[in-house]
Amino acid sequence: MICNKAKVLMSAAVDGELTTREEEELSEHLSECPQCREEFQDAKNTKIIIQERLVRVKAPKNLVDSILKMTTAIP
């Protein structure tokens, strides 16, 4: 695998969206390429930081109802 393909797969890998075969191919590449391995670790660390700082807010019921009403009215 070339580095460009590995970089494309890294984002999906961080989000757990790779097929088993893609995971294996990426893992093999990362075991052989220190630059990609470092970049992949940075991507995973970034995701962890974002998840830790993400503040989830529950939308008010009237907002949810309004949005749902709008989406069902679209032809």
Burial status of residue 12 (CB atoms within 10 A of its CB: 0-12, 13-18, 19 or more): middle
The answer to whether residues 26 and 6 touch, using CB atoms and an 8 Å cutoff, is: yes
What's the pLDDT tens digit per position in 31-40? 999 999 999 9
Q: Rounded CA gap, 38 and 16, in Å?
A: 18
Where are the domains positioned within the chain? Answer: 3-73
Torsion of CA 32, 36, 38, 44, to 10 degrees: -120
What's the pLDDT tens digit per position in 55-67? 888 999 999 999 9
- Rounded to two decimals, the pTM is 0.67
